[in-house]
Amino acid sequence: MEIIKRQRTRENYIIRHIPKRLRDSDIDTNASDYYYGKIPDFKINNDWKLILDDNNQPIKNTIDIDIFLTQDFDDMGIFTNIDFNPLTPYLTTPPTTYPPVSWQVGGVPPLVPMGPFNSFVYGRLPGAPIDFFIPGTLPISGSTDDSNLEAVTSYRSISPYNILLNLAEDITITFDGVTPATNVNSITYAIGANPTNNTTIMNTGVHYITFKNIYVDSTDESGNPIRYKKTNFSSQMPGITNNNAILKALTKHEEYSGIVFKPEVESEVFIDRGIEDIFERHAMLSEIKSTSDIDDNKEGFLST
Partner 1 sequence: MATGNYGIVRPADVSVNDIEILYSYSETRGETGEVDLINLDPTQVLVPANTPANPNEILGGMYTLKLPTSDFSSKGYYSILIRPKQIRTTIVACGVLSASPDIIGCVFNYNDTAIPQGDKIKFENGNLVGYRIEYLSTDTNATQAKMQNIYRIVTSNNRALAVSQNLNNTSDQVLTYTFDDSSSLVFCTLTPSSAASVKPNILPYIGTAGQEVIITNTFFNPIMVEVEMVEYDHETLAYALYSNQTKSLNDGIYTIYNFNNDIYKQYTLFEVKDLYTGKPLYEVREGLTLPDFTKEFDDIINF
Using CA atoms in the order 29, 30, 31, 32, what is the torsion angle rounded to 10 degrees?
A: 120
Question: With respect to partner 1, which residue has the nearer C-beta, 74 or 277?
Answer: 74
Burial (Cβ within 10 Å: 0-12, 13-18, ≥19) of residue 134: middle
CA-closest candidate to residue 187, choices 168, 160, 167, 225: 160
Torsions phi, psi for 102 (to 5 deg): -70, -10
- 232-251 residues in contact with partner 1 (CB under 8 A) are 249-251
Query: Would you count residue 289 as binding partner 1 (CB under 8 A)?
Result: no
In the three-class reduction of DSSP (H, G, I as helix; E, B as strand; rest coil), residue 238 is classed as: coil
Query: Would you count residue 83 as binding partner 1 (CB under 8 A)?
Result: yes
Question: With respect to partner 1, which residue has the nearer C-beta, 31 or 76?
Answer: 76
- 85-104 residues in contact with partner 1 (CB under 8 A) are 85-88, 98-99
- 122-151 residues in contact with partner 1 (CB under 8 A) are 122-127
Contact status, residue 187 vs residue 214, Cβ threshold 8 Å? no
Question: With respect to partner 1, which residue has the nearer C-beta, 3 or 158?
Answer: 3
Question: With respect to partner 1, which residue has the nearer C-beta, 120 or 155?
Answer: 120
- 186-215 residues in contact with partner 1 (CB under 8 A) are none
Question: Which of 170, 254, 266, 276 contacts partner 1 by CB under 8 A?
Answer: 254
Q: What sign has the CA pseudo-torsion 43, 45, 51, 54?
A: negative
Q: What sign has the CA pseudo-torsion 293, 295, 298, 301?
A: negative
In the three-class reduction of DSSP (H, G, I as helix; E, B as strand; rest coil), residue 21 is classed as: helix
- Scanning 50-58, 78-86, 154-162, 187-195 for contacts with partner 1 by CB under 8 A, the matching segment is 78-86
**Alpha carbon of residue 64 to chain centroid:** 34
- 256-285 residues in contact with partner 1 (CB under 8 A) are 257, 260, 262-265
The interface mask with partner 1, positions 157-176, x = CB under 8 A, is: --------------------
CA-closest candidate to residue 198, choices 218, 179, 176: 179
Closest approach of Cβ 274 to partner 1, in Å? 24
Question: With respect to partner 1, which residue has the nearer C-beta, 49 or 252?
Answer: 252
The interface mask with partner 1, positions 23-62, x = CB under 8 A, is: x---x-x------xx-xxx------------------xxx
Count residues contacting partner 1 (CB under 8 A)? 74
Burial (Cβ within 10 Å: 0-12, 13-18, ≥19) of residue 65: exposed
Question: With respect to partner 1, which residue has the nearer C-beta, 29 or 291?
Answer: 29
- Scanning 65-73, 188-196, 220-228, 283-291 for contacts with partner 1 by CB under 8 A, the matching segment is 65-73
Contact status, residue 80 vs residue 253, Cβ threshold 8 Å? yes
CA-closest candidate to residue 192, choices 249, 159, 244, 148: 148
Contact status, residue 188 vs residue 195, Cβ threshold 8 Å? no
CA-closest candidate to residue 248, choices 134, 99, 130: 130
- Scanning 47-55, 77-85, 172-180, 192-200 for contacts with partner 1 by CB under 8 A, the matching segment is 77-85
Question: Which of 31, 45, 52, 80 contacts partner 1 by CB under 8 A?
Answer: 80
